[in-house]
Structure 1
């Protein structure tokens, strides 16, 4: 439930703003994912630009995000 997710995020100190629930378990099929966890990366226009299947630690996430950010 949304309440359980928000409780978990708060308890773990994760200040995430863009958390979406897939209560019907339809996202995996729609994006062609074989399992979880999966991290999807979208650009400012809402296009999926990358995906990572499996666990993604903080350093790997920051590296991937820095690669996707436009140059200053």
Structure 2
């Protein structure tokens, strides 16, 4: 199956695709699996994919909230 072919980690040799697929398959069958690791792997892969496919990424500066502490005389931003 081509599931691991699109993995950014596999492309950089940071991941053994066979081991990841085996863990995912086992988890789908209800076998004990490293769920925290799989969660992190899937979330990071999705994040990397959106970085590469996002057409326009921009940041807009917004005015910050300012608070003055009368006790210390410090202005917090």
TM over 0.5: no
Q: Find the structure with the greater CA-based Rg.
A: 2
Higher helix fraction (1 or 2): 2
TM-score, scaled to structure 1: 0.25
TM-score, scaled to structure 2: 0.24
Higher strand fraction (1 or 2): 1
